[in-house]
Amino acid sequence: MSIRLNGIRYPKISLLAGMAGLTITFSIFGRAQELGDHQYTSEAIQAGLRVYSRECALCHGPQGDLVSGINLARGEFRSAQSDDDLRSVISEGRAQGQMPAFDLRETELSGVIAYIRAGLDPDGVAIPIGDAGRGLALFQGKGECASCHRVNGTGPRIAPDLSAIGVQRSPASLQLNLIDPAAAILPINRPVRIVTRNEETITGRRLNEDTYTVQLIDSNEQLRSLIKSDLVTYEISEAPSKGPTHLTPAEVADVIAYLLTLDGDV
Amino acid sequence: MDIAKSAIKNCLVLLLVSQTFCQANAQVPFDRILNAVDEPQNWLTYNGSYMSQRFSLLDQINQENIRDLELKWVLQNQVFGAWQSNPIVVDGIMYVTERPNSVMALDAITGRVFWKYVHTPDERARVCCGANNRGVAILGDKVFMGTLDARLLALDRINGEVLWNTEVGDVARANSVTMAPLAVKDKVIVGVGGGEFGIRGYVAAYHADTGEQAWKTFTIPGPGEPGHESWQDDDWMHGGAPVWITGSFDVEQNQVYWGVGNPGPDWNNEQRPGDNLYSDSVIALNVDTGELEWYFQFTPNDPYDYDAVQVPVLADLNWNGMPKRVMMWANRNGYFYVLDRTSGECLVAKPYVQVNWSSGLDENCRPIITPQPDGMPTYPGNQGGTNWYPPSFSPRTGLFYFSAWEDYATIYRSEEQEYEPGRAFLGGGFSVLAPAPDAPTIGIGRTNPVNNWTDEVGHASLKAMDPNTGEEVWEFEQYDVSDSGMLTTATDLLITGGREGYFHVLNAHNGELLFHKNLGGQIVMAPITYMVDGVQYVSIISGNSLFTFALKG
């Protein structure tokens, strides 16, 4: 069993329960249920495929790449960013009628957006993308993201820097980080708690590790390199320091939209 | 100083110089290689001797003074990429290859280079996994190197001049030679790589004097030959079964032993029904004729790329009170085997890492297969429980040592693929099981100084195995995986490395860590040891540098 994220097939595993086959099957099943409110349904994607084949493929092509400057499968558009932007482009038309207005029913409209967000893959996962401006406000405010993450030279260094996260992660991966961070955290970023022989307790984020040593950034933003044989305790947390977000699905879509704008260019 | 004393001194100096000169110019006939154990100051073959034990009788460096080891010299490689070469040392001169196909002769005391020969491979040369070369062989007055464009070269060992250059295989069909040749009697023997390109593999012997081919034995039997029935239709014509790691030789049996690689296409075994002999097997060939005398297949109809390209490690053991001529083999498929090398009979076989592609072995050591459902992980993963990294056997401890990969799995995907000459013939693809979406995984070789994949996708375990029981006696775990080979010595040192760039020295009896040093670059070959002018040296390649150590002083 596996799930598709942005066209790539990944196994889903539960770290806590190990890597046994049955565990993987159940955890995927569980994940699909958890993600229900955060994703377009496969029925919507399938409906979108039918609409796309009938109305869109003639100009955009089966791969969504026949119109210059646009690649629907990769989410590259001329100006649209959010799902609402796509909605208005499709309903109202653009470019002096080169992109005509389509009079679609609401289910057809959301279906074709779902199909585009699934990367034109009928078996894909489609993540709603909200408004990047609202997402920035949530990132800095209610979402409490900026209290740990740094973006473009601003913010603390304790959590990973997100300045280029929009080109490093797929929308589905970003969403999973928000709603189920324990399943999404990269293992190198796991929080560590260390007690040295000198009875110093150090907490921080792991940066590198080998057979004999570990390197980390501690809670005071200091780089530390420690020799394992000097440690009394070395604990690696399986869960990140943050829990699942309390934001609503619409707000999560907004934050994802904002994160996707972070491309490393300051 | 009076004149008489001065004359005596000059004579002594002359005598010493002439002795050194004579020794440095001694040829290396077959008898010297056969009795390599009698001259532990040299490292005469890829694996140290025909038995391939990588065990040295040198004893200057021992358990007590190992902490006094210091760096003597470094040879910096001039090209990037994994340096998998294994040096040989003959009378104070080291011969080492550099990718893609250069040979250097250097002073083993100082690391200064006498000469460098550069062969530029044909631009059509194709290899799956890097422009690797694993070293040279020596015989008589020649050193021999196989090339990426499937040629075999004989060089004058004194000045590096090409004495002959012969075609081993068709470069247009992606045949290649990456192994160090094996020189036996009057012949030089090599196999061809290309298991990812649908070659039909073989082992071939060449007369050392002329480069003329003496014999050639295909690793896939043709029509009318025994074993041909293990293939259907024309699958045998492009069924892979490459040979890319140096074999071993038993003078009593008059046999050479070779590990054979995967069948092709790699991932789609439904496309090539049958056992696919002699892929994933060890084959015993008569060294004079190349005739197949026995075989043992580890992984029939393999869909996982479990090449049997490990070094056949030979030993004569006490087996239930009787002497037994055995071959020890930690296979890429996750099982450790001990075979009777006179017959190929399987004596002991047990899994040494988690294995789920098979639930066990039958009474003939044939695997009982349990293929995993689509999308589910297979253990061990694509690079195997181990791979081509040379093991060691110490006759003193009676233990067999090798690098294993633990907790490492792969998800395979198969698809139908048509064979096209010289093109990749894989029949699908794979991904390494990762702990989270977008998480980095283990690749072939390490290029990142930050281990951002972590031990959650696999780690190394150096295992010490008892060949009499097939059981692990102790292990030494590393955080990253290891492609490093092993070296053991008469002072019960076990010397190895790993992808992290650490050079580790352990007590071969119990795995106790005696010494370690960060050399900074991945160690993807085994260390060697030699002696010149009464000083024992240990050489090991890390990253793009060859480091040589000896005791202080």
Q: Name the residue facing B433 among A5, A11, A210 (closest C-beta).
A: A11
Alpha-carbon distance B390 to nearest alpha carbon in chain A (angstroms): 21
In a domain, A109, yes or no: yes
Beta-carbon contacts below 8 Å between A and B: 86
**Cβ neighbours for A260, distance < 8 A, ≥ 6 positions apart:** A81, A129, A132, A166, A171, A174
- Which of A14, A31, A125, A186 to substitute to test the interface with B, most B CBs within 10 Å? A186
Whether residue A15 is found in the same domain as residue A133 = yes
Q: Which residue of A has its CA nearest to B440?
A: A186
Per this entry, what is the length of chain A? 266
Q: What is the CATH number of the domain that holds A232?
A: 2.30.30.100
* In a shared domain, residues A144 and A47: no
Give the architecture-level CATH label for domain B39-551: 8 Propeller (2.140)
Quote the mean pLDDT of chain A: 83
Q: Return the residue of A nearest to B480 by Cα.
A: A210
Does a structural domain hold residue A266? no
Distance from the B462 Cα atom to the nearest Cα atom in chain A, whole angstroms = 13
Each residue's pLDDT tens digit, A245-263: 999 999 999 999 999 999 8
Residue with tokens 């099982």: B335
A111 and A147 fall within a common domain: no
| Chain A contact for B372 (CB, 8 A cutoff) | yes
B339 contact partners, CB below 8 Å, separation of at least 6: B282, B296, B326, B327, B329, B345, B346, B347
A135-168 pLDDT tens trace: 999 999 999 999 999 999 999 999 999 999 988 8
Residue A181 to chain B, least CA–CA distance (Å): 10
| Orientation of helix A249-260 relative to helix A171-179, angle to 10° | 130
- State whether residue A172 sits within 8 Å of chain B by CB: yes
Look up residue A89 and give its two tokens: 């482009």
Chain A nearest-CA distance from B485, in A, is: 17
List CB contacts of A156: < 8 A, sequence separation 6 or more: A147, A148, A149, A150, A221
Any idea where the domains of chain B sit in the sequence? Answer: 39-551
Rounded Cα gap, residues A109 and A103, in angstroms: 9
Does one domain contain both A137 and A256?
yes
How buried is residue A212: exposed, middle or buried, by Cβ count under 10 Å (0-12/13-18/19+)?
middle
CB-count burial class (<10 Å; 0-12, 13-18, 19+) for B324: middle
Instruction: List the single residue in B375, B437, B479 with the smallest CB-CB distance to A176.
Output: B437
Last residue of a domain, one of A117, A142, A158: A117
Chain A residues touching residue B523 (CB < 8 angstroms):
none
Active site residues of B: 305
For A6-62, the pLDDT digits (tens) are 333 333 333 333 333 222 323 333 333 345 567 888 888 989 999 998 889 888 988
Q: Which pLDDT belongs to residue A27?
A: 33
Question: Which chain A residues are closer than 8 Å to B434 by Cβ?
Answer: 10-11
A124 in a domain, yes or no? no
Among the partner residues A2, A207, A210, nearest to B375 by beta-carbon distance = A2
Same structural domain, A92 and A212:
no
Report the chain B residue with the minimal C-alpha distance to residue A2: B375
In a domain, A122, yes or no: no
Which residue's structure tokens are 């934050």?
A: A255
A12 in the same domain as A136: yes
* Locus of tokens 């799902």: A83
- In chain A, the number of structural domains is 3
State whether A150 and A249 are in the same domain: yes
Taking CA atoms, what residue in B is nearest to A210?
Answer: B479
Q: Cα(B450)–Cα(B46) distance, rounded to whole angstroms?
A: 32
Q: Which residues of B touch A13 (CB under 8 A)?
A: 433, 435
Last residue of a domain, one of A117, A148, A167: A117
Is residue A62 situated within a structural domain?
yes
Q: How far is B82 from chain A (nearest CA, A)?
A: 20
Is there a single domain that holds both residue A152 and residue A202? Answer: no
**ipTM summary value:** 0.91
B451 with A209: Cβ contact below 8 A:
yes
Q: With an 8 Å Cβ cutoff, are B478 and A207 in contact?
A: no
Residue A172 resides in a domain: yes
Residues A50 and A110 in one domain: yes
Q: Tens of pLDDT along chain B (553 residues)?
A: 444 444 444 444 444 444 444 444 569 999 999 999 999 999 999 999 999 999 999 999 999 999 999 999 999 998 888 999 999 999 999 999 999 999 999 999 999 999 999 999 999 999 988 899 999 999 999 999 999 999 999 999 999 999 999 999 999 999 999 999 999 999 999 999 999 999 999 999 999 999 999 999 999 999 999 999 999 999 999 999 999 999 999 999 999 999 999 999 999 999 999 999 999 999 999 999 999 999 999 999 999 999 999 999 999 999 999 999 999 999 999 999 999 999 999 999 999 999 999 999 999 999 999 999 999 999 999 999 999 999 999 999 999 999 999 999 999 999 999 999 999 999 998 999 999 888 899 988 898 999 999 999 999 999 999 999 999 999 999 999 999 999 999 999 999 999 999 999 999 999 999 999 999 999 999 999 999 999 999 999 999 999 999 999 8
Residues A34 and A56 reside in one and the same domain: no
The whole-number pLDDT of residue A87 equals 92
Out of A117, A144, A166, a domain closes at A117
| Chain A contact probe: residue of B412, B414, B454, B502 with most A CBs at under 10 A | B454
For the CA atoms of B102, B107, B108, B112, what is the dihedral angle to 10 degrees?
Answer: -70
**Positive or negative, the Cα torsion across B468, B474, B478, B480?**
positive
Residues A158 and A71 both lie in one domain:
no
Are B453 and A9 in contact (CB < 8 Å)? no
For residue B473, the model assigns a pLDDT of 98
| Residue A53's CATH number | 1.10.760.10
Cα nearest neighbour of B436 on chain A? A184
Residue A31: give the domain boundaries. 3-38+129-185+243-260
A145 with A139: CB under 8 angstroms? Answer: yes
Does A211 map to a domain?
yes
